[in-house]
Structure 1
Amino acid sequence: MQFKVVEKFISINGEGTLSGQLAVFIRFAGCNLNCSYCDTAWANKKDASYEWMTSKDIYEYIKSTGVRNVTLTGGEPLLQEGLIELLEIISKDKKLHVEIETNGSVLIDKFSNLENPPSFTMDYKLTSSNMEGKMELGNFKYLTKKDTVKFVSGTIEDLQKTKHIIDKYNLVDKTNLYISPVFGKISMDNIVEFMKANKMNGVNLQIQLHKIIWDPNERGV
């Protein structure tokens, strides 16, 4: 199989349980959503520049970096035809830790049967994203403690929905939970006050490190 890869680079993980650790990123072209705050919309355009890479090409590039954390991102990686083949090749290398960043709209059930399944950092798109109706709620039953659900919040309404979803699906006991602010839309102290008022034990506030270290519009970071 061949994949349209719009970026490949080494940086630090900006969010999730491995935040601050080195990772090698593979960014695929194309997404099925159009979030109001999307910071990689350029990668989803039909005229986005890309290179064709086979599963072997991608694995060899990953190994050449010497970095063990691998992040497959997009766009939406789970839309990539042949992703199972790629994961099977990478997962044979027990030294690598593979994470998939997914937007929450694609069912992940078929990936749970892999010999060495990846971890998922899954978004739940809240009201301000304009994409909440696209969420695949069936995913919650497949999540484990190796996975993460990320709630990117831009308003108090978003925070209220975050609490509702966490409580309804008992997510604190199932997986890792993070709230991230929509960059420039909500102050972090408001998020903390909401967490305090609602006794949100087991939930983490997280800032996107790459948007603090580099310009928020910088690519390849």
Structure 2
Amino acid sequence: MKFKVVEKFTSINGEGPLAGQLVVFIRFAGCNLNCSYCDTKWANKDNVCYDFMTSNDIYKYIKSTEIRNVTLTGGEPLLQEGIIELLELLSKDRSLHVEIETNGSIPLNEFGHIENPPSFTMDYKLPCSNMEDKMDLNNFHGLSPRDTVKFVCGTMEDVQKSKLIIDTYELSDKTNVYISPVFGQIDLEKIVGFMVYNKMNGINLQIQLHKIIWDQNKRGV
């Protein structure tokens, strides 16, 4: 099986429970959504340049970096035909911590049989994304403490909706939950004020580190 890889690089993780730690990124081509704030639209174009890489090619590259954290991202990595083959190969190496960034529209239950499964960082697309109707709500029932739900908020209405979803599915009791502001688009103080007012214990506000360290449009970071 060969996969369409548009980028592979080492950097720090800019988001989530491992923010600030070194990570190997493998970015795949293509996505089934078109979010208003997407910062990797270039990777989703039909004519994007990519390299065909086998599971073994990807694994060898990862090992060559000597970095243990691995993030599979996109686009939408779970759209890659045969992705389970890659996940099963990576799962055999227990020195690796494998994370998949997924957009919330792809059912996750088919990946539960993997013996050493990856952690999923799953988005819930809020109203500002224009993609909320594409969300697979059944995914909320299969999340574990190793997984993460990320709410990308562009407006305070998004923040309010994120609280409704968190409360409805009791997400803070079963997994990691992050509110991630669209960079430069929303007042961070207002988000903190909302969290304080609503006693949102166990919920994390995250700022995208890579957009603070480097230019927000820079690739390969």
Counterpart of 1:64?
64
In structure 1, runs of 5+ residues without a counterpart are none
Counterpart secondary structure, 2:162: helix
Report the Cα distance in structure 2 between the residues aligned to 1:64 and 1:204, rounded to whole angstroms.
33
CA deviations on 1:31-84 (whole Å, 9 max, x unpaired) are 000000000000000111110000010000000000000000000011111111
Counterpart of 2:113?
113
Counterpart of 1:150?
150
Counterpart of 2:55?
55
Displacement of 1:142 in angstroms is 0.8
Report the Cα distance in structure 2 between the residues aligned to 1:36 and 1:186, rounded to whole angstroms.
14
Counterpart of 2:187?
187
- 1:80 equivalent to 2:80? Answer yes
CA deviations on 1:74-111 (whole Å, 9 max, x unpaired) are 00011111111001111101100100000000000011
Q: How many residues are treated as equivalent by the alignment? A: 221
- 1:26 equivalent to 2:26? Answer yes
Question: In structure 1, what residue type is equivalent to 2:5?
Answer: V
Counterpart of 1:162?
162
In structure 2, runs of 5+ residues without a counterpart are none
Question: In structure 1, what residue type is equivalent to 2:22?
Answer: L
Report the Cα distance in structure 1 between the residues aligned to 2:22 and 2:203, rounded to whole angstroms.
23
Counterpart secondary structure, 2:52: strand
Report the Cα distance in structure 2 between the residues aligned to 1:160 and 1:90, rounded to whole angstroms.
38
CA deviations on 1:167-210 (whole Å, 9 max, x unpaired) are 00010101000001111110110110010111111100000000
Counterpart secondary structure, 2:63: helix
Aligned-residue identity in percent: 73
Displacement of 1:156 in angstroms is 1.0
TM-score normalised by structure 1 residue count = 0.99
Question: In structure 2, what residue type is equivalent to 1:165?
Answer: I
Counterpart of 1:205?
205
- 1:16 equivalent to 2:11? Answer no
Report the Cα distance in structure 2 between the residues aligned to 1:20 and 1:112, rounded to whole angstroms.
28
Q: C-alpha root-mean-square deviation of aligned residues, in Å?
A: 0.5
Report the Cα distance in structure 2 between the residues aligned to 1:9 and 1:195, rounded to whole angstroms.
35
CA deviations on 1:101-158 (whole Å, 9 max, x unpaired) are 0000000001111010000001000000000000000000110000000001011110
Counterpart secondary structure, 2:3: strand
TM-score normalised by structure 2 residue count = 0.99
Report the Cα distance in structure 2 between the residues aligned to 1:123 and 1:92, rounded to whole angstroms.
26
Counterpart secondary structure, 2:211: helix
Counterpart of 1:130?
130
Counterpart secondary structure, 1:158: helix
Report the Cα distance in structure 2 between the residues aligned to 1:44 and 1:143, rounded to whole angstroms.
27
